Amino acid sequence: EVQLVESGGGLVQPGGSLRLSCAASGFSASVHYMTWVRQAPGKGLEWVSLMYDDGSAGSAYYADSVKGRFTISRDNSKNMLHLQMSSLRVEDTAVYYCARVAINWPLDLWGQGTLVTVSS
Amino acid sequence: QSALTQPASVSGSPGQSITISCTGTSSDVGFSRFVSWYQQYSGKAPRLVIFEVNKRPSGVSNRFSGSKSGNTASLTISGLQADDEATYYCYSCAHSNNLVFGGGTKLTVL
């Protein structure tokens, strides 16, 4: 089955760190750009980060709201995508989705999401 | 990276047609032919319903259609059905590989 499965969410204190993972199955993620999108409780979708297929230095892009705090990476040998989040803030509380970027940019496959709660 | 502008809500009766607008700038919607639309039911992941302005993925009803004029894209749903009730988001690729979503439009089927 073609799917994305996120993991790693949980409760963390402000200023803390968390690493999210996204496991791809049923297809080779190495030929796709991949992205993270988040959704705060009761709010809309917000793009977080994008990484090109090769995962090379310089192929990562970030929303201004997370730049300098979040780092996207991928391990194509394991069909995995990661998001290292540090200096977390209360406003980072959200469900985090990973998604596959198809040709010409639509997000054609989404995971079920993982909830990150930043609270003291 | 400002969000694209969508109406907060729209409504229609079964069988009617509704249109949801998505207004951006010349740096995103106006710049890109890669506008897409997503349907999201409460508590579920989004689902792609329109890509490249007016193309439908396999499995999406032909009641869904898209268009674009200048900096505004639109999603039209014809022959409204009860299970169309969801929140709809537009999305565009912008300059410098930034991606941007609209604020979302909640569709109520009366």
Name residue, tokens 């032919």. B33
Nearest to B45 among A35, A44, A97 (CB): A97
Nearest to A108 among B33, B57, B98 (CB): B57
- Beta-strand relationship, B64-69 and A18-25: unpaired
The answer, for B64 touching chain A at a CB cutoff of 8 Å, is no
Best CA proximity match to B73, nearest among B58, B57, B88: B88
pLDDT in tens, chain A (120 residues): 999 999 999 999 999 999 999 999 999 998 899 999 999 999 999 999 999 988 777 789 999 999 999 999 999 999 999 999 999 999 999 999 999 999 889 999 999 999 999 999
Distance from the Cα of A98 to chain B's closest Cα (Å) equals 10
Output DSSP code: residue B71: T
Residues of A with CB below 8 A from B57's CB? Answer: 106, 108
Residue B108, amino acid:
T
What's the rounded Cα separation, in Å, for the pair A75 and A73? 7
Best CA proximity match to B83, nearest among B36, B37, B47: B47
The answer, for A112 touching chain B at a CB cutoff of 8 Å, is yes
Distance from the Cα of A100 to chain B's closest Cα (Å) equals 11
Choosing among B20, B96, B99, B105, which should be mutated to test the A contact, i.e. which has the most A CBs within 10 A? B99
Q: Do B101 and A46 touch (CB under 8 A)?
A: yes
Which 3 state secondary structure label does DSSP give A3?
strand
Best CA proximity match to B53, nearest among B6, B108, B15, B93: B93
Question: What is each CA distance from B38 to A65, A118, B5, in whole angstroms?
Answer: 23, 27, 15
What's the rounded Cα separation, in Å, for the pair A45 and A40? 8
CB A108 within 8 A of CB A102: yes
Best CA proximity match to A89, nearest among A117, A61, A48, A47: A117
Output DSSP code: residue A100: E
Structure tokens at B97: 């590989």
The answer, for B47 touching chain A at a CB cutoff of 8 Å, is yes
Q: What is the pLDDT of residues B41-96, one digit of tens each?
A: 999 999 999 999 999 999 999 999 999 999 999 999 999 999 999 999 999 987 77
CB A12 within 8 A of CB A118: yes
Best CA proximity match to B3, nearest among B99, B105, B73: B99
Average the pLDDT over B94-107 and give the result. 89
**Closest residue of B to A60, CA-based?**
B97
What's the rounded Cα separation, in Å, for the pair B21 and B90? 9
Q: Collect all residues with Cβ–Cβ distance below 8 Å to A112 and sequence separation of at least 6.
A: A5, A6, A97, B45
Q: Do B36 and A107 touch (CB under 8 A)?
A: yes
